[in-house]
Structure 1
Amino acid sequence: MTEAVEAGPASIDIVLIDDHAIVRHGLRSILEREPDLRVVGEASTIESARAVVDQARPSIVLLDLKLSTGSDTEGLDLCATLVADHPELGVLVLTTFIDDHLVMAAIHNGARGYVVKDVDTSALIRAIRDISRGGSAFDARSAAAMVRGIHAGPAETDNKLTGREQEVLELLSRGMSNGEIGKKLFISDTTVKFHVGNILRKLGVSRRAEAVHLAGKMGLI
């Protein structure tokens, strides 16, 4: 994790989240050639990412979905957490993975854009600027995947609980409040509320007690 740095008022402040230092260094050197772009922090893990975003308060996060050898998609949970904690944040997924369900899952978790790592420099910079202005940004392949996902309708995998949602559900079943769950998982009350909302939506219920009852019948807890 690097320390936040001062940025001019006209700059677009960016945090890079990728588990490979060489990728982060390459992105920094490319982005900081632009007068309006400033990299204000870097992170390689979920924990350091949350810390540097809290400290640096960027307007944009470039996020890889694979942050460890144990999972190819743990960045999805991180995306949801960052957006829940910082609703104004623009998350642009920059990854090597591309499929319909993954693109749709990133969008459902709050990402405003999705591009693959072989995107050309000008397209990446344009995507960052578009998101900084409140828009969205998708390269040709991710846009096509998104269209297919929309036309296909909700897929079964879209309703599958994430690892973090499963943890929250199990703690809900113990009767814990949002505050208690937050302390247990070292996340904010706002993030817990976000995950609870996703759990209710995915299970098709409107109350926490209903979610716990249904999850028990489904063998989820």
Structure 2
Amino acid sequence: MVAATRDKDTALKVLLVDDHPVVRNGLMLTLADEPDIDVVGAAASADEALQAVAQQRPDVVIMDIRLPGRSGLDAARELHERYPELKIVMLTVHGERIYLSRALQDGAVGFVLKDAPGEMIVEAIRAAGLGGSLTPTHLLRELITQKSHRPHPEGPTLTARESGVMKLLSEGYSNREIADQMSLAEGTVKKHVQSLMMKLDARSRAHAAARAVRLGLVD
């Protein structure tokens, strides 16, 4: 679990995006007592989210896939294009997992179920803020089960070290945690992650992990 080590002055700034007041209020209550998380605003639509991000400059946006008018997926794509460093976490329900592969392509760093326990939502926000992948390998495999009967397409060749980094990345470890696990400098891990994302033509760490699973690069 990612520890709450930030004080309020350096807390992760979070924007909540959901068109249901009950969901927004529930998320606010869940996050209210977390000293390292500061909810800087809430929005009920994609357009409101775009405006709020421009004004508040959050570190993390947690956003429903389904929004009135433009979808959360459309908003995620535009936000990722405007603010590449912004971490976007999609809120979803079990029946919406068909959209998750697209969410990764549109720049989301991962997903959290709407009915997940509060501590899991808090952990997802912290992991996003630290640059980790939020999508466990079992969910990545679920996203590609429709292709499981096909042989793996040919993928890029990874070095032994890149393979090790890719395995830990797909398990949700941050760069710092990967560095500790592999006895490497954090800067070295960052370079490997950048190289992996280029080789996999991925737009985020979670997208890279999903592609690695599909290509059979992760056991």
TM-score (norm 2): 0.59
Work out whether 1:124 is the aligned partner of 2:121: yes
1:14/1:151 CA distance change after superposition, 3 Å: farther
The residue matched to 1:104 in structure 2 has which SS? helix
Q: Which residue of 2 aligns with 1:79?
A: 76
Alpha-carbon distance between aligned partners in 1 of 2:84 and 2:73, rounded to the nearest angstrom: 16
1:132/1:151 CA distance change after superposition, 3 Å: farther
Q: Which residue of 1 aligns with 2:36?
A: 36
1:140: how far off? 7.8
Which runs of 5 or more structure 2 residues have no equivalent in the other structure?
A: 1-6, 151-200, 202-219
1:142: how far off? 3.9
Q: Which residue of 2 aligns with 1:48?
A: 48
Work out whether 1:19 is the aligned partner of 2:24: no
Is the CA contact 1:14–1:58 (under 8 Å) kept in the aligned structure 2? yes
Work out whether 1:138 is the aligned partner of 2:135: yes
The structure having more radius of gyration, on CA atoms, is: 1
Amino acid at match of 1:35: P
Which runs of 5 or more structure 1 residues have no equivalent in the other structure?
A: 1-6, 154-200, 202-221
The residue matched to 1:9 in structure 2 has which SS? helix
Could you report, residue by residue, the CA deviation over 1:35-68 in whole angstroms, capped at 9, with x for unpaired residues? 1011001100111110001111001000101112
1:101/1:55 CA distance change after superposition, 3 Å: same
Identity %: 32
Q: Which residue of 1 aligns with 2:67?
A: 67
Is the CA contact 1:15–1:41 (under 8 Å) kept in the aligned structure 2? yes
1:93/1:150 CA distance change after superposition, 3 Å: farther
Alpha-carbon distance between aligned partners in 2 of 1:152 and 1:130, rounded to the nearest angstrom: 33
1:49/1:34 CA distance change after superposition, 3 Å: same
1:67/1:152 CA distance change after superposition, 3 Å: farther
Greater RCO (Cα-Cα under 8 Å, separation 6 or more): 2
Is the CA contact 1:95–1:115 (under 8 Å) kept in the aligned structure 2? yes
Amino acid at match of 1:138: T
Is the CA contact 2:14–2:39 (under 8 Å) kept in the aligned structure 1? yes
1:138: how far off? 2.5
Alpha-carbon distance between aligned partners in 2 of 1:82 and 1:38, rounded to the nearest angstrom: 20
Q: What is the number of residues matched between the two proteins?
A: 145
1:151/1:55 CA distance change after superposition, 3 Å: farther
Q: Please provide the CA RMSD for this pair.
A: 2.6
TM-score (norm 1): 0.59
1:95: how far off? 1.9
Alpha-carbon distance between aligned partners in 2 of 1:109 and 1:50, rounded to the nearest angstrom: 15
Alpha-carbon distance between aligned partners in 1 of 2:149 and 2:60, rounded to the nearest angstrom: 30
